[in-house]
Amino acid sequence: MSVEGIVDRIIADAEEEAKNIMHDAETEAEAIREKGKREAEQYYERQKSLLDEKYRREKERAILNKRLEERKNMLLARQKWMERAFHDAYRGLVDQPLEEYGKLLVTLVKAVSLTKDEEIIFGKKGDSAFFSRIVDQLNKKGASHSVSKMKRDFPWGVILKKGKVEINMSIDSLFKYKRTDLEQKAWEIFHAGE
């Protein structure tokens, strides 16, 4: 073999080796591209999943916040309604005619009196003649109540006193004492419809 043949053979072998190297490099490059593409797709899916979950949580939180806000507004409306109802009831009792007031006091004292001989302390509403009529009506049924010489500063009701024991039946005391029970019953009625 001549030098030219050897050189041609070396060149041919080099070209063959270069083709093999190029082919291997292209195959490896394609594998790297495919791997990169798969990793990019996986990354995209993970990020999409994270964003979907974040969106779902934010949407859920927004819905819960909206429901809480609606519930809060409903409670505020109910509280305003209840406050108005108590105010109207209070004013209705305080402003009722003296005759109705007297009948109600007689019924109230009969229901609450323990010993039927308490001293009755009246509030601002009425005069001494009115107070005496109330006590006379109570005493017709065998009681022996008396009108106290002192008056207290409340607009409606009485206080029954026996020694140091007082039963406060003034409107302020009744509303304060019964308000919690009445509010509870009203809430139960409201929530029964939900």
DSSP SS3 for 147: strand
The answer to whether 117 and 145 are in contact (CB under 8 A) is yes
| Helix/strand number for the chain, H first, E second | 4, 4
Q: Is the pTM of this model over 0.75?
A: no
CA diameter of the chain: 154
Tell me the pLDDT of the chain (194 aa) as tens digits.
Answer: 687 888 788 888 888 888 999 998 899 989 999 999 999 999 999 999 999 999 999 999 999 999 999 999 988 988 888 888 888 888 998 899 989 999 999 999 988 888 888 999 999 888 889 999 999 999 987 888 899 988 888 898 999 999 999 999 998 888 888 888 877 777 777 666 65
HSE on the CB side for 101, CA within 13 Å?
24
